[in-house]
């Protein structure tokens, strides 16, 4: 497995609508493995292919890592599609490896049903609620060029981005 380069805001690949995968072959499985490795290396719980510069409808999720940064229960989703949403909404604090160091409260559907292809290319459906529902909606948004910061108020977004730039600048000057 190889750790891939992570693309961060405001890279244009993050704004692009990703293309569906035609077949889950060995190349796609290699990408799934590499994405998982990249996600673990940065202690993330979900990662979408556009975040590693690949504009394809692919994501990996693992929020059951016994130790942050190691395999727990990896889940693979190719061409995921939300086919049902609950009336009920929930608000959770979200972060994103493409928006380093930041968090914000985001409102999502409390439960969703998702149709997708698994690691072997088999069609599956999953009914998700709670944290998995939030992660799935966050990651599927990435495939449509949407970041969680697009789902908060403009004022909050501007404050968050200002803070991110300030922290990046501080990090860079420390490195020099």
Q: How far is the CB of 174 from Ni ion (least distance, A)?
A: 25
Residue 96 binding Ni ion, by CB under 5 A? yes
Q: Does 21 bind Ni ion (CB under 5 A)?
A: no
Query: Of the listed 19, 22, 107, 139, which one is catalytic?
Result: 139
Q: How far is the CB of 127 from Ni ion (least distance, A)?
A: 22
Q: Which residue is nearest to Ni ion (CB)?
A: 96
Number of residues lying near Ni ion (CB under 5 A): 1
Comparing CB distances to Ni ion, the nearer of 21 and 143 is 143
Q: CA end-to-end span of the chain, whole Å?
A: 31
The reply to whether 128 sits near Ni ion by the rule CB under 5 A is no
For Ni ion, the closer of residues 78 and 99 by Cβ is: 99
User: Taking a C-beta distance cutoff of 8 angstroms, is the pair 140, 82 a contact?
Assistant: yes
Concatenated DSSP letters of the chain:
--PPPPP-TT-GGGGSPPBPPS---HHHHHHHHHHHHHHHHTT-SEEEGGGGT--BSEEEE----SSTTS-SS-EEEEEEEEEEE-S-EEEEEEEETTEEEEEEEEEEESEEEEEEE-TTS-EEEEEEEHHHHHHHHHHHHHHTT--GGGGS-HHHHHHHHHHHHHHHHHHHHHH-
Is residue 139 among the annotated active site residues?
A: yes
Minimum distance from residue 172 beta carbon to Ni ion (Å): 23
Q: Is 35 in the site for Ni ion (CB under 5 A)?
A: no
Which residues from 150-169 bind Ni ion, rule CB under 5 A? Answer: none
For residue 41, the minimal CB distance to Ni ion (Å) is 15
Q: Does 60 bind Ni ion (CB under 5 A)?
A: no
Stretch that binds Ni ion, among 11-19, 94-102, 116-124, 156-164 (CB under 5 A): 94-102
Q: Which residues bind Ni ion (CB under 5 A)?
A: 96
Just list the catalytic residues.
139
């Amino acid at each position: 497995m190889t750790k891939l380069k992570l693309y961060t805001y405001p890279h244009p690949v993050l704004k692009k609508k990703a293309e569906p995968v035609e077949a889950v072959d060995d190349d796609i499985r290699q990408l799934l493995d590499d994405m998982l490795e990249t996600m673990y290396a940065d202690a993330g719980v979900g990662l979408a292919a556009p975040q590693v510069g690949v504009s394809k409808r692919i994501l990996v999720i693992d929020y059951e890592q016994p130790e942050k940064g190691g395999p727990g229960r990896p889940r693979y989703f190719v061409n995921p599609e939300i086919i049902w949403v609950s009336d009920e909404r929930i608000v959770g604090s979200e972060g994103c490896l493409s928006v380093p160091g930041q968090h914000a409260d985001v409102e999502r559907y409390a439960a969703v049903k998702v149709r997708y292809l698994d690691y072997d290319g088999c069609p599956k459906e999953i009914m998700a609620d709670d944290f998995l529902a939030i992660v799935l909606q966050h990651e599927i948004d990435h495939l449509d060029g949407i970041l969680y910061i697009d789902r908060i108020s403009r004022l909050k977004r501007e404050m968050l981005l200002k803070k991110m730039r300030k922290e990046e600048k501080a990090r860079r000057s420390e490195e020099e």
